[in-house]
Amino acid sequence: MDTATPLSAFCLAYVTCPSREEALRLGRAAVSARLAACANVLPGMTSVYEWKGELCEENEAILLLKTTARALPELEAFILREHPYETPCFLVFGVDGGSPGFLDFLRAGVGPRDRSEAS
């Protein structure tokens, strides 16, 4: 890992989606736009919550987006704009550790493409 990059520069965004297909659509778009280096989709979750005074129980999928703190505002704006829910779940967790190689992968996969990669 680039030792000049602090761990606080990396984060994980947790997003719930109404289906596996929707989570995949959002994940592919976020990675293609280089807002996240990686997206994981975990299907088959059941959420229980109160919404507008009613108890709800829905099948959902979890979308985990591995990204950088620098890309976070744009990633959040993207999710809020593109997500089908009126109020999407978008929670961010800081990274307290990780393997150097994977953290390098995250840093390289988010933001403008390095000119040396494009050659």
- The domain ranges of the chain are 9-106
- Looking at the structure, give the CATH architecture of the domain made up of residues 9-106: 2-Layer Sandwich (3.30)
Q: Do 79 and 15 meet the contact criterion of CB atoms below 8 Å apart?
A: yes
Q: Do 67 and 39 meet the contact criterion of CB atoms below 8 Å apart?
A: no
Of the two residues 106 and 115, the one the predictor is more confident about is 106
pLDDT given at position 84: 97
Q: Give the pLDDT band (50/70/90) at residue 93.
A: very high
Q: What is the pLDDT of residues 36-71, one digit of tens each?
A: 999 999 999 999 999 999 999 999 999 999 999 999
Q: b or e along 55-87 (b: 16 or more beta carbons within 10 Å of the residue's beta carbon)?
A: eeeeebbbbbbbbbeebbebbbebbeeebebee
